[in-house]
Copies of this chain bind each other. A is one copy, B any other.
Amino acid sequence: MSQAIAPEKNGSVPYEQSRLYSLRHSAAHLMAQAITELYPGVKLSIGPPIENGFYYDVDLDEPIKESDLTAIEKKMKELAKLDQAITCKKAQDREDAKRIILEDCTLGQGEHTAEYKLQLLDAIPDGDDIIFYEQGRTDRAGNKHYFIDLCRGPHLPTTKEIKYFKLMSIAGAYWRGNVNNKQLTRIYGTAFETQEELDNYLYVLEEAKKRDHRILGKQLGLFMFSQRVGSGLPLWLPKGTTLRETLTDYLKKEQLERGYQGVITPNIASSKLYEKSGHIITYKDKMFPFMEDEDNNTFILKPMNCPFHIEIFANALRSYKELPIRLAEFGTVYRFEQSGELAGILRARGFTQDDAHLFVTPEQLEEEFIGVVKLTMDVLKKLGLTNYRARVGTRDPNDTKYVGGDENWKLAQEAIENACKSMDMDYDVSEGDAAFYGPKLDLIIKDALGREWQMGTIQVDYNLPERFELEYIGEDGNPHRPIMIHRAPFGSLERMIGLLTEHYSGAFPFWMSPVQIAIIPIADRHIEYAEKLKKDFKEYRISIDSRRETLGKKIRENQIQKVPVMLIVGDKDIENNTVGVRSREDGDKGAISIDSLKEFLESV
């Protein structure tokens, strides 16, 4: 899930200011209260809301197991129902705060349990308000419940409103994230406003686990990793390669028809190239270690294709008559992601971008931008990703970091918005979301599980043409600077195939399936007929499963491989010139003639 972004309600307040955020924060306190009752003497540290829920880091005398979470959850439910008011309490000064921590927060378990809270207090700058949130009530049986925590809030008014929550998992976490400190126990939970939302979240989690592209990628023979090759460096297996090349061929054809020109550039370059582009400073963190030869020449593994395409543009004197020039490359780049951030092929260290750079005149910007948006939409439609929204990233009017001039920014922003309008595409404007070198359009895809993925960014760039002093001769005979558009409808083949694998749960549409048809001869004497069939339908990717296994086993295994169409052939089929059709979606469709098969396959 790490690559999917949390669904965001259009037009709503940011998550950090939402009621849901407060709810999860209060749920974290509620969990901490439950833990103090179940594990007296526990030392609490911190417990914030996070993207999909909340956690609390606690220091327990003895370790707890995931199975203990049920009891904590039960206790939380009891405490919630008590309708404890959650109220804010401001310490008069640092001394007062210290007293509250040592007397109230410790709940009578001794001052040593306040260890982490005292350190947190120390970290609060002088002059800042020191705030606590407390909750408590005596239940019907006369038992007193109380909890108070050093906390900036905000919270819900009462625990009664914390209804739909679930504790998820346990992990280790070092105090203050420092490996030299003590390892605490982190307990993760989640909470929602309604049962339906909680159920949906848990369903998506469960479903996402089943659809995990790493598991499906192995099961379907798409790709592999090898320790000897290294983390984050996928090796594409035959079926994955076929899928990848099917996508590549499709996009190449689309691009050719739209006037793109293919180029191929090296995977390395002299450091001079990245000095000129500025990446050696702005992007160094993401670059692989440099290669230095004995003569002090430095080579860099390419993290992006743009400077190469610029070198190609700059290789000849360009006239306005040649523009727009659209250079496209399926370019493999390498980025030194931290190993903790790697996630199968969704986030890898080596990946192939379906990259292109358009060099355009200011007059061409809008039309070319529209062309790119149209291509991107056509690509997403072809891939079956039809649920998406658009976001225009513009300048922060209070920031001065931007290059390119006011007039240009206005022009580009209008071009982007006009492109959206002309395409009847709804969009939000996200102020301050632009890169320093130009405004952009993001398409945010919602997958079959409702998870959102930022894909298909289209970026206007005033910076690189400036840095490389690019020019074309205008109609007026004078040199002018072109504008660049960066775009990659897939993003990268790796990320898109990872997403498609999870979106389709491995059951790829017919046109992109690595094996489109599995012909299953019932016995050896039917193999010849199977091979004739394969030849007659050679426009499809067909495998013949001629193993000496039972028909049932062969069908089952091709089902696991999610092959869209199985053709089962036996004596009667040879006699009647038919095939038994089994569709991945509709199951057994019975015997049909070869002519009907042609029609059927065209309709799949």
Which A residues contact B (CB, under 8 angstroms)?
Answer: 224, 226-230, 233-238, 240-242, 244-245, 261-270, 272-273, 276, 288-293, 297, 299, 301, 307-308, 311-312, 315, 321, 327, 332, 334, 336, 350, 547
Contacts and interface: CB of A to CB of B under 8 A. Distances in A.
A290 B230 CA distance: 14
Contacts of A263: 235-238, 241
18 contacts: A226-B315, A228-B311, A229-B265, A229-B273, A229-B308, A230-B266, A230-B272, A234-B266, A235-B265, A235-B308, A237-B263, A238-B262, A238-B263, A268-B288, A268-B301, A288-B299, A289-B292, A290-B291
Given A229-B270, A237-B312, A241-B263, 11 more contacts: A228-B269, A229-B308, A230-B297, A233-B269, A235-B265, A235-B266, A241-B261, A266-B350, A267-B332, A289-B299, A293-B336
Given A290-B291, A292-B289, A299-B288, A266 B315 contact: no
Q: Please state the number of chain copies in the assembly.
A: 2
Given A224-B312, A237-B315, A312-B237, A229 B291 contact: no
Contacts of A267: 267, 301, 332, 334, 350
Nearest to A233: B266
A268 B233 contact: yes
Contacts of A264: 235-236, 240-241, 244
Contacts of A227: 270, 272
Nearest to A249: B249
Contacts of A237: 263, 312, 315
Contacts of A224: 311-312, 315
A120 to B, nearest CB: 31
Contact of A229 (B236, B292, B311, B334): B311
Contacts of A241: 261-264
A268 to B, nearest CB: 7
A301 B267 CA distance: 9
A16 to B, nearest CB: 33
Q: Which of A240, A244, A262, A321 has the most CB of B within 10 A?
A: A262
A311 B290 CA distance: 26
Contacts of A234: 266
A276 B273 CA distance: 34
A350 B262 contact: no
A332 B233 CA distance: 15
B288 A288 contact: no
Contact of A228 (B240, B262, B276, B291): B276
Contacts of A299: 230, 288-289
Contacts of A238: 261-263, 327
Contacts of A350: 266-268
